[in-house]
Chains A and B, each alone.
Chain A
Amino acid sequence: MKRPGPALLLHLLLVAGAVVTLIPLAWMVSASLMPAGEANTFPPRLLPSAPTLGHYGELFTRLDLGRAFGSSLLVAAATTLVSLLLNSMAGYAFAKLRFRGRDRLFSTLLAAMMIPAPVAMLPLFLILRSLGLVNSYAGVVLPAGATILGIFLIHQFARGLPDDLISAARLEGAGELQVYWRIVLPLLRPVLTTLGIITFLATWNDFIWPLIVLTDERRYTLPVALASLVGEHAQDTELMMAGSVLTVLPVLFLFLGLQRQYIAGITLGGVKE
């Protein structure tokens, strides 16, 4: 390196930023392994004196957080699958099929994307109630079964697919739905991965909607269970940290594994024309 001065300063700043960013997550993991009471000492400890997995054991036995983990997994996986199917169907239709009013319909949808979701929540709750879907997983999954952002992402990608492939399949006698299922869907795989991980993470992390719809604690997803747990166990810092680790770690690992696709999705969603 020719100019060690600026490069050194630059990297000192970057490392300092990384340390500040990681401290909350690192402390969360460390405190979750401390013996009970050790996170509430002065001066605060950074590392456990004798690491223990006891709090995790308690989460799964006495507090039954394994059930909430299962609920979260079920809701996130179901929402991801349903929305991938519905969004890819709609996104492809908007991108490649020719029908009257298509572009007007599409731009109307995009304008509606600006409407904040909480505005819809009160009537949505009443609708689900009249359908008997309150306190059911379907009540959490269905309203997220298709999203404007998802349709938009698929549309952006599907627009670039070669028309020849589609018309060749039609010439060979494939029906329109077969074209979608056999030809288009496999070609959409990169954007499906991207949208899949975005949807999974967003659903896993969501709080307000499952909080409203799921009234029975036995159906709580992890964030709802955690928020309710902190009411009774606020003093049990180490236990709460174990619960937080259980909630955060799966999505953090998922992100680390599929980082490239996830960030591609963020960038694609952010560069709208």
Chain B
Amino acid sequence: MLPDRGARSVPAEARAALLLLGPGLAVITFFFLIPIAASLLLSFTDFDIYALGSFRNVRLVGLANYARLVQDPLFWISLRNTFYFVLVGGPLTLGVALAAALLLHARLTRWKGFFRTVYFAPYVTTLVAVAIVFRYLYHPKFGLLNRGLGILGIPAIDWLGDPRWAMPAIILLSVWKNFGYAMILFIAGLQSIPESLYEAARMDGAGPWTVFRKITLPMLAPTFLFLGVMTTIGYFQFFAEPYVMTGGGGPLNATLSTGLLMYKQGFRWWSMGYAASISFVLFLIILAFTMVQFRIERRRNA
């Protein structure tokens, strides 16, 4: 922690700071911080389509929305789907990213810039557009994926129509789209490991697997923590994939995410009080996951 240089205030600079910070902080306060606080308040009200007509129709209902939540089967289904997506998709994304980073970082590798660009490209594409592309790639009859599997002798799968396969299909799209981002940070992490550590290990006669486990992985711990937190936060909010690919959470709600449920309740049925309680529970879950990851990292360091 740096010493608080801001503590020694210079009047002219403080006045300038007020002017320079004002607009940015106003935007963040007005359009982000206040809405977050308001979201908690909203979750204690019965804000619905009538309230949208006149705010006088809003009543405080205490914890009624949360009581409704725990009895809503759709909420539990959405939560299960969301956890499935985060707990399977997250590690898979980071695993593929680490593998790609190791291949790209290897000393023998040539055309590194080319491969890096190719692997990273999906990350900059528009999610809605590539979700539509994957919809066709997943077509049971005409899709390229089943064609490729067919050549290997694997029978056709109804990727987006079968409740068991719809979520894996969405996870596959997300891994393809996002691994490039994590790969870039893993490469940066790998580059920051001093060569002398590797040399010392090799002098001690450690094989490649031991070097990987005893040096590479521990040295990448900060990268893992950052990516773990970012991926968790991002994946818990997944929304556009089921919106575009499975007609809003099908088949049989197999891809209904909590984010999508919140959107439907809030912006399609205008049950904004109820939707706010959904968003707040999701927020608490994300917060808990973030804390646990920081805790694990701290314990590992202790």
Contact = CB atoms under 8 A, between A and B. Distances in A.
Contacts of B141: 42
A10 B244 CA distance: 37
Contacts of A204: 126
B188 A89 contact: no
A52 interface: no
A249 to B, nearest CB: 9
Contacts of A270: 184-185, 188, 223, 226-227
Interface in B255-277: 259, 262-263, 266-267, 272, 275-276
A18 B122 contact: no
B27 A21 contact: no
B44 interface: no
Contacts of A177: 16, 19-20
Contact of A244 (B132, B229, B259, B262): B132
A90 B27 CA distance: 11
B143 A44 contact: yes
Interface string A248-262: 100110011001001
A69 to B, nearest CB: 12
Contacts of B67: none
Given A227-B244, A263-B184, A143 B126 contact: no
A263 B237 contact: no
Given A39-B142, A123-B34, A267 B128 contact: no
Contact of A208 (B10, B130, B144, B239): B239
A146 B136 contact: no
B133 to A, nearest CB: 5
Given A6-B108, A103-B6, A120 B226 contact: no
A195 B294 CA distance: 27
A260 to B, nearest CB: 10
Interface string A19-30: 001111101100
A47 interface: no
A223 interface: yes
A125 B15 contact: no
Interface of A is mostly: helix
B171 interface: no
A94 B24 CA distance: 12
Contacts of B129: 28, 222-223, 226, 243-244, 247-248
Interface string B225-242: 011010001001101100
Given A89-B21, A112-B33, A119-B36, A226 B128 contact: yes
Interface of B is mostly: helix
Contacts of A180: 16, 20
Interface stretch (B72-80, B83-91, B109-117, B193-201): B109-117
Interface stretch (B161-169, B211-219, B278-286): B278-286
A240 interface: yes
B240 to A, nearest CB: 5
Give the interface residue-count category, chain A.
35 or more
A44 B31 contact: no
Contacts of B118: 18, 21-22
Interface string B11-24: 01111111111011
A142 interface: yes
Interface of A: 1, 3, 6-7, 10-11, 13-14, 17-18, 21-25, 27-28, 31, 39-44, 86-87, 89-90, 92-94, 97-104, 109, 112, 114-127, 142-143, 145-148, 151, 175-177, 179-180, 201, 204-205, 207-208, 212, 222-224, 226-227, 230, 237, 240-241, 243-244, 247-248, 251-252, 255-256, 259, 262-263, 266-267, 270-272
Closest 7 CB pairs of A and B: A102-B6, A176-B16, A123-B38, A90-B24, A120-B35, A99-B14, A146-B24
Interface of B: 2, 4-10, 12-21, 23-25, 27-28, 30-36, 38-39, 42, 100, 103-104, 106, 108-110, 115, 117-122, 124-130, 132-137, 139, 141-144, 147, 176, 181, 184-185, 188, 223, 226-227, 229, 233, 236-237, 239-240, 243-244, 259, 262-263, 266-267, 272, 275-276, 279-280, 282-283, 286-287, 290
